[in-house]
Amino acid sequence: MKVIVPIKRVLDYNVKPRVKADGSGIDLANVKMSINPFDEIAVEEAVRLKEKGVAKEVVVVSIGPAKAQETLRSALAMGADRAILVTTEDAVEPLAVAKILKAVALEEVPDLLILGKQAIDDDCNQVGQMLAALLDRPQGTFASKVEVADGAVTVTREVDGGLETVKLSLPAIITTDLRLNEPRYASLPNIMKAKSKPLVTKTPADYQVDTSPRLTVVKVAEPAVRSAGVKVADVDALIVKLKELGVA
């Protein structure tokens, strides 16, 4: 069984984002970048399936600048077998990402695609669902447990009302939630081995996908600073204060 895991290079979750002075976006100059945390969980799940003997090969795919090779090497160090980098300097929107991944899937013919449910930079939560629609494959989103057996995958999903379990025929698409697993730290020997693992470079044009943006970012701004609260002595004072603020 072959597993494909798309990953995205994002601003590290420990770094506080800085808005550019002109409000055109987030300043990414000289800041730490890493694998999107949800994608890291997806890589870990794929590697665990390989360690169980369920999967034979794990292929990681990234769409972005040439520097995304570092991100792919991190995934290879975790245990993935090979990588594909689709290089572009464009800010690729979810639909274009899904179209590129569809082309990769048709070329690689995986039994399972495991994606992070969303990227922490834009929080779109769209690619997995779009990809399932484009490929016409069953999907199990927000997975907190995955079990593969007898040509099917059973996915426990986190939904508003609790948990839902679905059984999908392979090939299928899964998106991961935070509680699915805890990603491993890559060991030094595996980091060294990752440097020699195959990494193929492609472009969106190789897959006949137009990555031109359909959306225009008008302005990016930091959230408004919260004003300090006011401490009141009792309920009567609270009611008076609420009336002053016009909310009671």
Distances (CA, A) of 222 to 16, 18, 28, 39, 228: 11, 8, 15, 26, 18
The pLDDT-based confidence of 245 (bands split at 50, 70, 90) is confident
Instruction: Render pLDDT for 105-160 as a digit per residue (tens, 0 to 9).
Output: 999 999 999 999 999 998 999 999 999 999 999 999 999 999 999 889 999 999 98
The pLDDT-based confidence of 27 (bands split at 50, 70, 90) is confident
Quick count: other Cβ atoms within 10 Å of Cβ 125? 16
Q: What does the buried/exposed string (b/e) look like for 86-102 if buried means 16 or more CB atoms within 10 Å of the residue's CB?
A: bbbeeebbbbbbbbbbb
Q: What is the pLDDT of residue 87?
A: 96
DSSP 204-228: GGGGT-----S-------PPPPPPP
**What is the average per-residue pLDDT within 19-37?**
89
Instruction: Render pLDDT for 38-88 as a digit per residue (tens, 0 to 9).
Output: 999 999 999 999 999 999 999 999 999 999 999 999 999 999 999 999 999
Q: Can you tell me the distance from the alpha carbon of 101 to that of 37, in angstroms, rounded to the nearest whole number?
A: 19
Instruction: Render pLDDT for 163-183 as a digit per residue (tens, 0 to 9).
Output: 999 999 999 999 999 999 999
**Domains along the chain with CATH numbers:** 2-245 (3.40.50.620)
Distances (CA, A) of 237 to 231, 234, 240, 247: 9, 5, 5, 14
Q: Can you tell me the distance from the alpha carbon of 163 to that of 159, in angstroms, rounded to the nearest whole number?
A: 6
Distances (CA, A) of 225 to 99, 159, 185, 221, 228: 39, 32, 36, 11, 9
Instruction: Render pLDDT for 8-25 as a digit per residue (tens, 0 to 9).
Output: 999 999 998 889 888 888
The pLDDT-based confidence of 228 (bands split at 50, 70, 90) is confident
Q: What is the pLDDT of residue 248?
A: 66
